[in-house]
Structures are given as structure tokens and as C-alpha cells.
Structure 1
Amino acid sequence: MAQKILSAVILFTLVLYTQTTQKNITLKLDSLTSASFFDTAAISVDIFDLTANRKLYQKNNTMLMHPASNMKILTSAAGLLFLGQDFSFETSLYYDGFISDSTLFGNLFFVGGCDPDFTSADLQVLVSSVKNLGVDHVEGNIYGDVSMLDSLFWGNGWMWDDDPSTDFPYLTPLTINDNAVKVLVQPTENGSAPKVLLEPATNYLEIENLAMTNTAGRTSLEITRDFVNRKNNIIVKGDINRSDHDFKYEINIFNPEKYFLSLAKEELERNGIGFIGSINTLRLPGNAKHLFTIRRKFTDVIANLNKQSDNLSAEMTLRALAYKFYGKPATPMNGILLVDSLITIAGMVPDNYRIVDGSGVSHYNLVSTELLNAVLIYLYFQQPELYKTLSLSFPLAGVDGTLRRRMRGTLAENNVRAKTGTISGVSALSGYVTTKNDHQLSFSMMIQNHVRKTSRAIYFLDSICALLSELE
């Protein structure tokens, strides 16, 4: 009898303690989410205690909001679930015709497979396979097969005036160097034009150097291109002080498949392989012979996708989903069908949301924190291996990625793993955190319609994470 009474007392005490803790956390979170900042801005929060398997806190969690880069949670989770961790993006080189006396009497075909992390170093490997054939001249053309995708080079709702930022890359199966170029400006003599270099060096892009080196004023440079007319001429304006360091800036490239093929032509020439033909796009013929393929695993891509919030990686993942299940040409809408399947599996209803891209760039996207957290919860309980891969791909607070400078000096540092999201008027953060009493929590937070500095919205998101990490 005494044992039963003792057990009842312990149970009552635990329930009372849980209720008290729940009340305390609710009061603290209510205080943060009711600040005057939210008189004009909206906040949505959904927090779940995975260890206790219960809801911890919800506020406006069904409200539809623009997720910004929190959209990448859905895209990368769908990629892990439906592409699989062993899936690889492929970029291949083929040739047709025949080889005689070190001359290829035929064409080279670069076949794009939507690899978002393909670089000039990878291109060198492909070109070296031509050299290894003993070829020193190509009597034919260089073609790029871009048939894997449709002709839409941007996502629905992407804004024209975001061009030429590298955050808004033009999309093609033949991706190289993030479909961008680095522009390096070096000061020279006072009153003279600075030196302008491109990385990688290429003759494909023209440079209009309208800048000046000075000794008196501050460095004030504008580096752009004629994006309104869809041109790739690099324009450098303004002043650079002679005593300043080199100035480096990166901009996106229009028609990146032509950029890829031009770099390929120049790489052939650097390897002593002569070429006098033309470059263009063309489907791979059935009689072409395979030379070499560069493969990149999705598990390598997902780290850059989430830690650095890479929009190109997200969009290529969405299209890889479309290609795997629906074939060529892969379209974003077919990729979104797989995201819808993930939403259904996570116990939610796809028709309740609007998804138009894979990266969250578009303001057309509308989802809820309830949905994002439902996916995080589903992976934790039902797909533990995928949960581990996804969570490790998220930035770690105070350590790396887009969270490397945030939450430092709090228990959230080196603890919170979460995906950030930022577009005009929107700040979001969703992921996982471990509390002081070793409970694992999943959370999703979005703030929308703020016109003050983004740092103010970030303050509330980070404060909530710090508060959650201190729970005991």
C-alpha cells in the first residue's frame, strides 16, 4: 500500500513539474512573441518536444507565410527521401565520328546533369579525357546537351531586379562555377583605370572598365552587367583608392550553358587541342561514344544547399526529382509533385499550401510553421538515418554556414542546427535544439512583413533558440 502511495506521489509531482515547466516556457515565449515589434510584423511559431513526444508551444502556426530559404527544408528532405542518399548528379563527355592521326573528325558533346557544384576543375578532368585519347585537334563542333530541363531559366515569381546577384542564378543542366564569374579589380596609378581580371579567365565575357584609381577618395565601385538587356558584358564603374586591397565581386551569368561551352573550348586550347568549329546546343546522338563522367553524390550537395543556403543546389535538386520520376524535360512543377508527396507522408495536406520553387526565392511560396515542423518531426521518428543527414547539413549556431555569427555566448551556440531563411520582409529559422535537460526539440519560426533591419527580426528568432536551449 505504501509503495502505491509513493508511486502516486511521484507521478503527481512529475505531472505538476511538467505543468509548471510548460507554463513557464509558455509565459516566456508569449512575452517574446508579443513584443511591440509584432504590432506591425507577424510571427508564427511551432515547437515540439521530440523526447517527450508532445507539443511544447504554438503561435499562429497554421498561418501561411513566405518561407524564404526554409523552403529548402522541404526540397532537401524530398531529395533524401525520393532520390536517396546514393543518388549522384552526372556531367558527361561524349564524342561522335572517328579519330585518325591525332585528329577527331567529329564533335564533342557535353551532357548536362544539373550538377550544381560543377567547377572549372571538373571541366579540366573532362577535357583531359580527350587529351588521353591522343587527340590534338578537333575537326568538328562542341555541343552542349541541355535537354534534361525545360527552357525556363528562372523560378516562378523571381524578381527581375534581383539580377545580377549570384543568389539568383540562371538555371541550366550545364552548370559551372555556380553559373557566375568573379570580378577582381586592382588599383593602378592615380588617375588611371584599375586592372580588371576575371576568375576564371575567359574571353567569353567583355569588360567595360569605366572605373578610376585615386589617392584621395574612398573606394566606391559598382560592378554589374547589362542585365536588363540580358547581356553578359561586365561593367565596372566608380573609384578605387590606390592604397586599398584588391576588390572582388561575383555576379551571375546569363545563358550559362554558352559560358560552360566557351570555357570548355578555352580549356581544350590550353591542353594543346586545336579547335576551329562552333559551339552550340544539341541533343546527344545515339551513336556517340562515352568518354568520361563526373559524378557528385547528393549527400555532398546537400551540405552546400543548406549550410550556405545555395539556391542553385536547391533548384537543381527539385529538377533532379522531376527527372527521376517523370523524365525529360524536367520541370519544377513535376519536382513539386514529389515535395507534395513528402507533405502527404508527413501527415499534412498539399492543397493547403502553395509551392512554386525549390529554393524559397519566390514570394509566391506560402507554407506554415506547422508544415515545416511536421516534416522535421516525421524525419526524426520515421526516417532516423535521413534525419541525421538532414540535421547535419543544417548550419550549426555560432560555428558554420549562415549561423556562424549567431547565438554566440548562449547555450544555443554549438547546439542549434537550423535552416535560415531571408528575403525582403521575411526572416525564418527551423531545425533542432537540445535543451539543458537533454530533451531534443524541433521547431519552426517565421517572421514576416517587417520593414526594420533584418537584425531586429533575427534577435527574436535567436532569443527563442537561446531560451529553448536553457530549458531544464
Structure 2
Amino acid sequence: MLRPPGGPPRNPAGSASGCRVLRRRSPLQCALPRTRLPRMNRVFFAGGRSRWFLMLAMAAGLAQADPAQLPTARSVEELRDQLQQQVTAPRFAGALWGVKVVAAESGAVVFEHHAERLMSPASNSKLFVGALALDAAGGDYRMATPVSVTTAPDRSGRVRGDLVVSGRGDPGWKLAAGETNFWRLFDPFVALVTNAGIQRITGHVIADGTWLQTPPHGASWTVDDLENAEGAEVAGITLLQNLAQLEVAPGPQPGAPARLALRQPHTGLALDNRVTTVTNGGPTRVAARRVFGEATLRVFGTVALDTNDVVAVPVPHPAQWFASALREALLRAGVRVDGVALGVRWPDRAGLPSERVALGEILSAPMRDLVRDFMKPSQNLETDLVFAHIGERRRTPETPPGRTAEQLAVAALEEFLETNGLPVGDLRFDEGAGLSRNNLTTARLTLGLLEVMSRHRAAEDFLASLPVAGVDGTLRRRMKGTPAEENVRAKTGTLRWVNALSGHVTSAAGEPLLFSFYLNRYAAPPGRSGRDELDALAVTLARFAGRSDTTLEKLFAPHGRLVLRSLPGAPFPHPARLGGHTYRGEFFPGTPHYCDSTVAVFVPHTLRADQAADLVVYFHGWRNAVPGVLGQFQLIEQLAASGRNAVLVVPQGPRFAPDSFGGKLEDAGGFKRFLADVQVVLRNLGVGGEAAGRIILAGHSGGYRPMAAILEQLDASALVREVWVFDGWYGGTEQFLGWQQAQGGRLVNIYTEDGGTKAETARALERLRQRQVPVFTGEHADLNGDALRTNRVIFLRSDLPHHDVVAGRETFRLLLETAGDSR
């Protein structure tokens, strides 16, 4: 048996065998009959334990390939394997995934992984708010902000009473990009007053925010949220997203207090300066904290002499801020105001005048623009305002007192989902922005929402609201330089232990796909982030060169017939890996890494039944699976192009695991049992008869190990006529050379400088020299048919990368064309 020193790993604490007893067997679910463990042969390698580990490390090429560097998937099976490989990587052992991908046009499920799992969506919650707003109000809808006075102005332009601005949650009172004049915000209000001929207001300027019956914070926000920019107060009347900019400038010399100033007036904030100036190049770290309910902003930290900083800080009681600033704006416009500024918020209505004379109303931007403006930058306050506005529109006299606009909006959202046939039980929302850690949903529901909105009357508006990768919003710096750039349109979501990405992508084949990715509780290793993991999945979809209905069988149909079968004699499952396998501290559980009994069998159209057919058995290397092997190494295309009368067989080895173990093929008689299963498949395909041609073993990288084990078995080695090792000579030298000496078959070894096989190849060449065995050595680049036909032991140095030696220069085809011709 070829195995790492110390034997197979024990089960992790608390686990059973690692496999389940099943009524029906699946390639990815492990079930074994109750049989005695077979005797296993041993194959040893020169160099001892340390060299064994070094060789296996090199066999991997990289400890873990960057998902963005995976081969382009051409079939849906390859795509599923790549996505599965990414979400089941060992670094996610303590994390939770919820993933679903569907074809937008057909609705066919392309991939799903725990799509039913309730997950924290963070700002993916905004997808639901945007959809509800466009459905309930429509893209053309505008919020109206009434402006009134308590008495009509007299002939002299005097209002003997108050001016009242009644907020309805319009989030649009903010400066345009590049605009710095704070007072421009109030031009529409000042214009209404002056156009009415008003020159003097004897009463107060009142900002009435009571229409929106909602508390100043979202449901189940944390205390920390209330003192940072993401948790600005929710109010019926707002200003500048209820944020002020605090400028922090250095003092005159190190050790001096910094200089603090608020850019906007009338915030009501008092500053407690605890920021110290430090030398040029020193750290600039500023934190502003305010105890909820207080108006004192305590500012801590340091600022370098050569640096200035600006910190966004929430403003308490935004209605009061609005009223105070509007009063001054009126004074600046020449309108005299005798009274004071008053801000009123729900549930307080004391002092609000009941009699009012309308001056007019200020209309918001269309709802489609409001949705876009909170979706692209993921703006929490604007989301909460739109959500609460939609809820407040549903209030009736029968609505129970104290029920908030937010609660009414959640009820409206649930009705919207139910009306559209979506699983409303997958929604657990307290608020709309996603700042609440209590919000829960599933990839299944989010994907369903995307499907509904893709055929909704507001589909165009909804799609236009999503950030575009590498272009704008929260995706403007992400996925640049990849096929996802300017392609993926998706909503992001981020909290401390939450990452989310859901939206649209067009595959390389031009097929629109919808996806929802949730990743929770992920403690990213150094150099990675949760965003990186989600982006890698999106890039994989963007690179997909097939279509959702492109199966492996369809993909390779022009070349012949491909079938995928689950065979009893396949390498896995195997008792030695039921409990999984640990490599360099990473644990790979039995399911799904060691329970796939898939075997690919390909019969080319050109197969001639009246001639002996060779059987080419190919073994893949680490971290791979059959669909990806067929696509990446172009085995079928090369076989078809060779014209060889041969059948290709590719068994699934360890699935996406750093492991060369050959499973049952390393057991005594295992290879012969495997061949018997393959013959049954061939007879069912109409090929029939026992294999009368050659058996050729071929393998790349870690595939060397099952080949070496097969050659050590006397009853199997005599069946094999050729052995081709593609940059996989990490060990098994005695088995390979012993077989060649005993059987006289053709042995081909292609190695690279940096694939980890050069040292063992040198030792093999020395043994061949000592045994006076003729060896052809040369360059892979100079490979030609004559050399292959006239030599029986061939060692070639390749200048190609490790993963290119099989398909590069069509080496597999050349070997097939010359099989059996060496003499």
C-alpha cells in the first residue's frame, strides 16, 4: 500500500466513520458493504519520510490553486466541480456557505450548496427593499414633502405664525458630487417661501418628522452601530444622510492638541478634543465617539503634522438640525424669522400646529433613482427611509398604535414574496438596511427574488440599481482585470463575519446567469478576505465557456460517446479514507473527497469493432475531478485526433484533495476487478468482448501512485503494455523500472524543472544506467514520432508548466499514434 507515514488519519473528534449508510448510493455519498478489509500491497520509496512529504508537496504544484486560475469550464459538470471545489476548501471548515446559481432564461439550477440555509445577508437585505419599493410604488413614484404655514401671509408678506416642513422620509437632501455649498440644499424651500411673497415669519421654523412613525434606529441594531456613520439616525426629515464632516488638523507642533472643526453648522454637537499632534509621518488615527442620547462628541487619537483627516459623524436629532439650518437659510435670503427652530420627531407631537395653509411641496427624485442611490453605494439610512416610507403608506386607522413603519414594511415585504410564490419562511427580517444581525434569509430566497425581478415590470430599473464590477458602487474596485469586470451586476453585503454577493452575470458563452452567494463566520487566512472568496465564484461564472444545458456528454458528442458511471471497482470509497484525510493541518472529510465512484468511459466514433481496441486508463493528479480533467487536458480531443483504435477510461481519484492514494486500485486484485467493471460498461455500449488490445496506463502528477501500485501486482502488471508518466515521477521508481524490465513495455517519462519530479527522475536514470538499459533522453520540445517509435524507455525534459505537459504540444495524441510501434 502506498500511504503517508503513520497510516491513515483517525477520525476527527466527534465524528463517526465519515460516511453514511444509504438506501441509494450516490457518487458523492459514501456507503460500503460490510466486508473484511482486503490485504494491501506495499510500495516504498527511496529517500525516507522527509523526501516523501517533499515529493507530495511538489506534486500539488501549489498548496491550493487560486480559483481564478482554474481551467475554463466548458460543461456544466466542470462548472459545478469548480464551484464545489471552491466552497468546500478546508479553509472554510469553520464557516457557513449558502450558494445558488440558475440559468436566467430557463430557470435551470446550475449549482447549489446549502441554498436552504438561513444566513445573515448584511446589505443583501437591500435587494429586498429595492424590489419592494419598485413593486409597491413604481419607478416613477416621488415622495412629497409638504411645506405649509399656520396662517396665510398678509399683504405685507407677513406670516403671523409658523413655517412647517413635513418630512415623509425623502433621502435626497444631500449635496451633488463636487458641490460644497451647504446652503444650496435649502434653495427649493427658500424658493417656495419667497415665491409666496413671504418676507417675515413671526413664529417658528418647524421640521415635522412625525409622519414617519419609526424610532431613530433600526430594529435590533447594536449599540456600536449608533455611534458610527453606518448607523445614522432614521428620521422623517433628514439632511446630508444625517452625517456631518469633522475636520481634524494638526496643531502647531508635536504634542499640541489637534484642531477640530465641523464643516456643517447647526449640528448641535459639542466637541471634546482628545487628539494629539505627532511628528511628520507619524500615525493618523482618529476615532469619534458619542454616547447615545448625548450631544458631546469625544474625539480621540493622533494626527501627524503633515496630515489632515476628515471623519463622518452622525448628527443627533436630524429634524432639529434641518430646522436650524433652514431658519438661517431663510435669514440669508432676506426672510425675517422672529421665532426659533424646532425639530419634532415621532412619537412626540406636542406643539405642532393643527391648522396649516399649504405653500406647496417638494418632490423627491423618482423611486428608481432613490433605489439606485442606496443600492450602488449600499447606503443604510436611505434604505431605511425608503423602506419605512413604503411601510407608512400602508398605515390605516385600524393599524394598532405603536406599530412602527418598519414593522409595516416587513409585513409588506412578506406579502410581496408570498404573492410571487417565493418561500416567505426563508425570510427573517427586523429591518431593511441589513445592519441588524437578526436579519436572516437564504440563497434560495434571494435567488428567487432575482428571478422575480428579472421579469418584473421594473426589471430594467432594478438591474440598473446594482453595482457593476470594476465600474461603480461597492464593486468599483473589485474583479478588475477579469471576465467579471463590467459584466457582474450584483449587490454586496458586509458585516464583521458576513459577506454576501447576489446578482447577474453573463457567461463567456453569452448565457445570463443569476447567483446568490452567502458566506458567514469566515475567519479569512492572511492575504485573503471574504470578498475575495465571493469574487472568485463570480469570476468562475463569468469564465464559464459552456451553457447550462451543456453536459459532458453533449460537449464531447462530436468526438464519440462519453458515459459517466458509478462502478463498484472504482478507487473510492475505500476503508482507508472513510474518516477523511489530513494534509498539512488541513482536513479533507470522507464526503465529498473520498466517496465519488465515478468513472468516465469514452468510445470514439472511429472505433473499429473488427480490430483490437486498446484500453487507455488515465489517472489524474491532486485537487481535481473527472469533468475538469477531461476539459483541462483535452484527453478526448487528443484521442479522437490520433485515430487510435482505443477506449479512454478515467476513474475519479481523491476529489479535490491533495492526495495520491489510489484507493481500491492499490488493493490486491483491485485493478482486475476494476477492468471487469469497465468491460461490463463497454458491452452495454455495444463495444463487447474482452479487451484484446493493449492496456496503457497514463497519469499526470499525483496519478503516478495508483499506476505504481498496479504495476507491483503481478497479476495486473502483465496486462499493461505501456506506461506514460506526465510530470509525476515523484516515486514508484522500482515499480516502473521493474515492470519495464519484466514486460518490455514502452515507458515514457516527461518531467519539468520545477514540477518536483527532476530529482527522482535523475535517480531513475542512474538506476537504468547501472542496469545498462538503453534510454532515450531529450527535450520535450523536440519530441517526434520517430523517437517514440524506435525507443522503449524515453525520458524527456519539458519546458512547459506542470499542468501543460499532457495537452501541450498534443503529447497525449503523439503517444497514442505511436503506441505499440517501438521495437
Q: Is 1:469 aligned to 2:542, yes or no?
A: yes
- CA-CA distance at 1:135 after TM superposition: 3.5
- CA-CA distance at 1:428 after TM superposition: 0.4
CA contact (8 A) 2:103 2:109 kept: yes
* Equivalent of residue 114 in structure 2, options 52, 57, 60: 60
TM-score normalised to the size of structure 1?
0.89
- CA-CA distance at 1:146 after TM superposition: 1.9
* Equivalent of residue 233 in structure 1, options 296, 311, 324: 296
* Equivalent of residue 427 in structure 2, options 324, 340, 353: 353
- CA-CA distance at 1:127 after TM superposition: 2.2
Q: Secondary structure at the match of 2:233?
A: coil
- CA-CA distance at 1:284 after TM superposition: 5.6
* Equivalent of residue 518 in structure 2, options 440, 446, 457: 446
Matching residue's letter, 1:142: V
Q: Which moved more, 1:287-296 or 1:179-188?
A: 287-296
The corresponding residue for 1:270 is 332
The corresponding residue for 2:250 is 187
Matching residue's letter, 1:231: E
The corresponding residue for 1:387 is 459
Please, what is the CA RMSD of the aligned residues? 2.3
* Equivalent of residue 381 in structure 2, options 312, 324, 327: 312
Question: Can you list the C-alpha shifts for 1:40-69, whole angstroms capped at 9, x where unaligned?
Answer: 001111000113431100110000011111
Q: Which moved more, 1:165-174 or 1:440-449?
A: 165-174
* Equivalent of residue 437 in structure 1, options 506, 509, 517: 509
Question: Can you list the C-alpha shifts for 1:309-330, whole angstroms capped at 9, x where unaligned?
Answer: 0111211121121122225886
- CA-CA distance at 1:227 after TM superposition: 2.2
- CA-CA distance at 1:144 after TM superposition: 2.2
The corresponding residue for 1:27 is 81
Question: Can you list the C-alpha shifts for 1:357-395, whole angstroms capped at 9, x where unaligned?
Answer: 111111111110000000111222x31x42221111111
Q: Which moved more, 1:62-71 or 1:136-145?
A: 136-145
The corresponding residue for 2:65 is none
The corresponding residue for 1:70 is 124
Taking a change above 3 Å as real, the CA distance of residues 232 and 297 of structure 1, as seen in their structure-2 partners, is: farther
Matching residue's letter, 2:406: P
The corresponding residue for 2:529 is 456
Q: Secondary structure at the match of 2:393?
A: helix
Q: Secondary structure at the match of 1:211?
A: strand
The corresponding residue for 1:414 is 486
Matching residue's letter, 1:470: R
Question: Can you list the C-alpha shifts for 1:187-237, whole angstroms capped at 9, x where unaligned?
Answer: 342255443222323363322333344445624343424224x22223333
Q: Secondary structure at the match of 1:325?
A: coil
Q: Which moved more, 1:67-76 or 1:234-243?
A: 234-243
The corresponding residue for 1:122 is 185
The corresponding residue for 2:319 is 257
In the alignment, the residues of structure 2 paired with residue 450 and residue 311 of structure 1 have an alpha-carbon distance, to the nearest angstrom, of 23
The corresponding residue for 2:438 is 364
TM-score normalised to the size of structure 2?
0.52
In the alignment, the residues of structure 1 paired with residue 353 and residue 432 of structure 2 have an alpha-carbon distance, to the nearest angstrom, of 28
Q: Is 1:399 aligned to 2:471, yes or no?
A: yes
Matching residue's letter, 2:542: S
The corresponding residue for 1:343 is 417
CA contact (8 A) 2:148 2:165 kept: yes
In the alignment, the residues of structure 2 paired with residue 260 and residue 20 of structure 1 have an alpha-carbon distance, to the nearest angstrom, of 58
- CA-CA distance at 1:162 after TM superposition: 2.1
Question: Can you list the C-alpha shifts for 1:22-57, whole angstroms capped at 9, x where unaligned?
Answer: 211111111101111210001111000113431100
CA contact (8 A) 2:429 2:440 kept: yes
Q: Secondary structure at the match of 2:105?
A: coil
Q: Which moved more, 1:94-103 or 1:369-378?
A: 94-103
The corresponding residue for 2:98 is 44
The corresponding residue for 1:9 is none
Q: Secondary structure at the match of 2:146?
A: strand
Give runs of aligned pairs for residues 210-225 of structure 1, distance below 5 A.
210-215=274-279, 218-225=282-289
Taking a change above 3 Å as real, the CA distance of residues 140 and 397 of structure 1, as seen in their structure-2 partners, is: same
* Equivalent of residue 279 in structure 1, options 341, 344, 363: 341
Q: Is 1:135 aligned to 2:178, yes or no?
A: no
- CA-CA distance at 1:160 after TM superposition: 0.5
CA contact (8 A) 1:187 1:195 kept: yes
In the alignment, the residues of structure 2 paired with residue 219 and residue 93 of structure 1 have an alpha-carbon distance, to the nearest angstrom, of 48
In the alignment, the residues of structure 2 paired with residue 392 and residue 132 of structure 1 have an alpha-carbon distance, to the nearest angstrom, of 37
Taking a change above 3 Å as real, the CA distance of residues 288 and 330 of structure 1, as seen in their structure-2 partners, is: farther
* Equivalent of residue 159 in structure 2, options 85, 89, 104: 104
The corresponding residue for 2:683 is none
In the alignment, the residues of structure 1 paired with residue 390 and residue 196 of structure 2 have an alpha-carbon distance, to the nearest angstrom, of 35
In the alignment, the residues of structure 1 paired with residue 302 and residue 95 of structure 2 have an alpha-carbon distance, to the nearest angstrom, of 39
Matching residue's letter, 1:366: L
Q: Secondary structure at the match of 2:219?
A: coil
Q: Which moved more, 1:247-256 or 1:368-377?
A: 247-256
In the alignment, the residues of structure 2 paired with residue 67 and residue 151 of structure 1 have an alpha-carbon distance, to the nearest angstrom, of 23
- CA-CA distance at 1:350 after TM superposition: 1.7
* Equivalent of residue 362 in structure 2, options 283, 293, 296: 293
The corresponding residue for 1:198 is 262
> Please, which runs of 5 or more residues in structure 2 have no aligned partner?
1-72, 175-181, 398-402, 546-823
CA contact (8 A) 2:217 2:226 kept: no
- CA-CA distance at 1:333 after TM superposition: 1.2
Q: Which moved more, 1:83-92 or 1:408-417?
A: 83-92
Q: Secondary structure at the match of 2:300?
A: strand
In the alignment, the residues of structure 1 paired with residue 143 and residue 382 of structure 2 have an alpha-carbon distance, to the nearest angstrom, of 11
Q: Which moved more, 1:90-99 or 1:364-373?
A: 90-99
Taking a change above 3 Å as real, the CA distance of residues 62 and 177 of structure 1, as seen in their structure-2 partners, is: same
Q: Which moved more, 1:394-403 or 1:279-288?
A: 279-288
Question: Can you list the C-alpha shifts for 1:234-271, whole angstroms capped at 9, x where unaligned?
Answer: 33333322222x31110112221112112112222222
Matching residue's letter, 2:358: K
Q: Is 1:164 aligned to 2:227, yes or no?
A: yes
Matching residue's letter, 1:452: A
Matching residue's letter, 2:507: T
CA contact (8 A) 1:69 1:309 kept: yes
- CA-CA distance at 1:98 after TM superposition: 4.1
In the alignment, the residues of structure 1 paired with residue 336 and residue 271 of structure 2 have an alpha-carbon distance, to the nearest angstrom, of 26
In the alignment, the residues of structure 1 paired with residue 267 and residue 491 of structure 2 have an alpha-carbon distance, to the nearest angstrom, of 38
In the alignment, the residues of structure 2 paired with residue 353 and residue 75 of structure 1 have an alpha-carbon distance, to the nearest angstrom, of 13
CA contact (8 A) 1:140 1:277 kept: yes
In the alignment, the residues of structure 2 paired with residue 272 and residue 195 of structure 1 have an alpha-carbon distance, to the nearest angstrom, of 33
Matching residue's letter, 1:204: G
- CA-CA distance at 1:412 after TM superposition: 0.5
Matching residue's letter, 2:311: Y
In the alignment, the residues of structure 2 paired with residue 66 and residue 142 of structure 1 have an alpha-carbon distance, to the nearest angstrom, of 43
- CA-CA distance at 1:89 after TM superposition: 1.9
Matching residue's letter, 1:145: D
Aligned residues: 450
CA contact (8 A) 1:69 1:421 kept: yes
Q: Secondary structure at the match of 2:252?
A: coil
Taking a change above 3 Å as real, the CA distance of residues 293 and 284 of structure 1, as seen in their structure-2 partners, is: farther
CA contact (8 A) 1:182 1:198 kept: yes
Greater fraction helix: 1
